[in-house]
Structure 1
């Protein structure tokens, strides 16, 4: 077993959470991949209790639209949770900021999301943090609900209880959650409604569902029809959004009723065959906006966890001696895929190794749209990137392995943290960005600013 474990590789960090990191594991022989959630029990006194609850709830579920949990093993200060690897990345990978996605794709993802939520609720479980960052895609493009850190049981043996914990992400949370107590099912449904709007419009309707928020106040007064994001929706899509985002929880439709809504049953043509410039009547108007999505083709996105590490300190420029050390200590990062998943869950110490990135292994990377190749060396690329970050007035810091962490306040005055890693692959340099904390749409907006500023060195 020890020899077998030695054949597993840590391929890349998929994301960070409040208690640790999520890493991609690949077996050198079989090429099988799993995601491993590494929980550092020393980071928080209630970490073990929270993770144990999450694992027990997650084990109750088996559905094609829910990420499978494969097992768990414990060490004195660490818990490893093994999960199904969703190589398609996060749903926000498919959403272009301020534009959205093709309506036919949005319909497919909504059906899969609602099917997964219907199964969850049938088990008496509520997710409480539905958002594009927690919705992953498998290699076939099928949606998978992930991250059950805020999930809880609201119905047991036919008895339903009201919930009173404020949790979730403010832009996606239902208004009653901020007041308590609240019913689980309509609160989850509200979050699905925000995801629906984000997919079609490429933006969120409000920062928080309170009267103090101008956008939400206008929604309540029905005076926002001509403003974004609502002006981007067709009448049928707006009708569905209005029903899902009804302020009064009891007035919201059930998940099964939403699936019967006319918008959910429109026959959209395949996105590949839908003419962007001259859409026919079956295409939603937002299909016209898909032309600019081509700018993202060829690159891909990463799953991350709901919460994340504190913001890094400010660092202005890389001194020559610091840059030399950074280049010398830069880790060789490998990208390939775990044999039987059960063999990972052993009582002996896990041993992981790393190997260089190759063209063949590159194909197994998680899909993300926030990476590009450059024509410059690692050192020059690092200097150019840091110069651009200074010009954009972003706070940034680098670790000994060369990973640059960028921290800022986004357009909604929320903290946004993302990371850049410069990797060598078959003699070429790859600049790879991934979200660490914050809104996926805001992350992509800022990524595009950086990419535009580096246009001279991009292949």
Structure 2
């Protein structure tokens, strides 16, 4: 039996769970209601765009990305706008991240790593030729499709807040420290193309070695290692692979190998077959312009569901009770449940703030998304880091139900956490789940 759920729609898309989130945007899974095609929708905040005077730059980058139809770059299908948001509809990739493949399977054989690297370089070069630079290339931004082919995500969209100055160089250090080029750290300005090539070199090293070439818990030491290209190749690498990596991880961007030279390198050339694809498909850019217009006629309809706690109808409330909730027969570990609930008469925003105040002293990082929270324990337990998901539901105008659920980690540790949490929330909790059962 499935609970009826209010569906959020953006234009013709039915929007589901959050599948990614950053400081500048969040990404939702969605489905085209007309075709059933799954897509990913990247949501940008218009106020932030205007505040940083970035509208023209973002519009330009989005328009360029829409023109890019490379088989190894995630496609951008269309752009929509509401009064407060920009919605970028992207290709949804089902094969996961390349990062997960490295974590699960370890280092790759040279022929396998080379195949992914060839796809990466062709995609990067294609985008560079159109003036689009990534600036945050890392395995987490490299996805795999159902056929195992590489798909670069966030190209041109990962560093939207960065500006090119009059000297034609970028001046904002961005990206993940371990993958960032030395010239980016120097803050003297850098060329986006050569900086991306460096990051590609770090990725290749990770694929072949199974570990990072530059790594240190002390950030200053890490920067020194990067600036002097201080790394050690593992003994199992072939001499031609070592020589190739050294040409890419050259700390001097002027002498660092460029794409034309990469394509001629003896290690890179083995079994290299450039992808064949059709670029002739016509692209309409009217939606990009419309998404940024203030005129009411261009606004897509957006459900404001996320601006307040999700409402809970009677059926959903009953299904959470012990009598009807089949989930209680599953997910039980050592006599402990993986989730619990309580009700509160406090305002939803106050409940969220109180949980945050209580969780931080217990060693948890707090990530808030409207009336949902993700708590991550920075210290690993018996089964890795304990992750907790919480959500506030509105049962009545002055009554909320709070669900606290273990999403990762040890169940016993979850119950110890909840015991400590409930002590801190005594002034918030009206009735616990056990209290609610006792009233039946």
Shorter-chain TM band = 0.5 to 0.7
Task: For residue 120 of structure 1, report the CA deviation from its aligned partner.
Answer: 1.4
Which position in structure 1 is the counterpart of 2:251?
247
Q: TM-score, normalised by structure 2?
A: 0.58
Matched residue of 2:103: which SS? coil
Q: Which residue in 2 is equivalent to 1:349?
A: 301
Cα deviation for residue 220 of structure 1 reads 3.9
Q: How does 1:135-284 map to 2 (within 5 A)?
A: 135-147=142-154, 148-149=156-157, 150=159, 161-179=168-186, 180-207=188-215, 212-213=220-221, 217=225, 220=228, 225=232, 230-231=234-235, 233-266=237-270
Question: CA–CA distance in 2 between the matches of 1:111 and 1:221?
Answer: 23
- Aligned partners of 1:421 and 1:96: how far apart in 2? 24
- 339, 359, 376: which is aligned to 1:406? 376
- Alpha-carbon displacement from aligned partner over 1:246-272 (angstroms, at most 9, x marks no partner): 11112222223223323324469xxxx
Structure 1 residues 72, 267: CA separation in 2 closer, same or farther (over 3 Å shift)? closer
Counterparts of 1:53-452 in structure 2 under 5 Å? 53-96=60-103, 99-147=106-154, 148-149=156-157, 150=159, 161-179=168-186, 180-207=188-215, 212-213=220-221, 217=225, 220=228, 225=232, 230-231=234-235, 233-266=237-270, 347-350=299-302, 376-377=331-332, 380-382=337-339, 395=364, 404-406=374-376, 408=378, 450=409
Stretches of structure 2 lacking an aligned partner (at least 5 in a row):
1-7, 273-286, 292-297, 307-328, 341-358, 391-404, 414-440
Whole-angstrom CA distance in 2 between matches of 1:409 and 1:182: 37
- Which of 13, 21, 39 is equivalent to 1:34? 39
**Structure whose alpha-carbon radius of gyration is higher:** 2
Equivalent residues of 1:125, 1:153 under 8 A apart: no
Deviation at 1:233, TM superposition (A): 3.1
- Tell me, in whole angstroms, the C-alpha distance in 1 between the residues paired with 2:174 and 2:227: 23
State whether residues 98 and 201 of structure 1, in contact with CA within 8 Å, keep that contact through their aligned partners in structure 2.
no
Q: CA, structure 1 residues 65+260, in 2 after alignment: closer, same or farther (shift >3 Å)?
A: same
Equivalences for residues 5-24 of structure 1 within 5 A: 8-24=13-29
Post-superposition offset of 1:214:
6.4
The Cα shift of 1:127 comes to 1.9
| 8 Å CA contact retained: 1:39, 1:79 | yes
With normalisation by structure 1, the TM-score equals 0.56
Q: Output the CA distance in 2 between the equivalents of 1:57 and 1:99.
A: 36
For each residue in 1:31-57, what CA deviation from the matched residue of structure 2 results, as whole angstroms up to 9, or x when unmatched?
201111122334573286364354234
Query: Structure 1 CA distance, aligned partners of 2:267 and 2:331?
Result: 48
Report the Cα distance in structure 2 between the residues aligned to 1:31 and 1:93, rounded to whole angstroms.
27
C-alpha distance in 1 between matches for 2:337 and 2:45:
35
Whole-angstrom distance in 2 between the partners of 1:262 and 1:451: 49
CA distance in 2, matches of 1:153, 1:88: 33
Distance 1:99 1:120, change over 3 A: same
CA distance in 2, matches of 1:191, 1:74: 33
With over 3 angstroms needed to count, the CA separation of the structure-2 counterparts of 1:36 and 1:235, relative to structure 1, is same
TM-aligned CA distance change 1:406 to 1:31, over 3 Å? same
Deviations 1:139-197 (A, max 9, x none): 22222222123267979xxx993333322222111111222222332211101001111
CA contact (8 A) 1:20 1:37 kept: yes
**What CA deviation, in whole Å up to 9, does each residue of 1:37-96 have, x standing for no partner?**
122334573286364354234234222122221121111111111111112222212112
Provide the rounded CA distance (Å) in 2 between the counterparts of 1:109 and 1:418: 33
Matching residue of 2:278: none
Could you tell me which runs of 5 or more consecutive residues in structure 1 were left unpaired when the two chains were aligned.
269-341, 355-373, 384-389, 411-416, 423-430, 434-446, 455-459
Q: For 1:240 and 1:432, how far apart are their aligned partners in 2?
A: 46
Change (3 A) 1:47 1:204: farther
Looking at structure 1, the residues matched to 168 and 229 of structure 2 have their Cα atoms a distance apart, in angstroms, of 31
CA offsets 1:348-403 (integer angstroms, 9 cap, x no match): 4145999xxxxxxxxxxxxxxxxxxx9524971248xxxxxx9xx85255979876
SS at match of 1:250: coil
Higher relative contact order (CA 8 A, sep 6+): 1
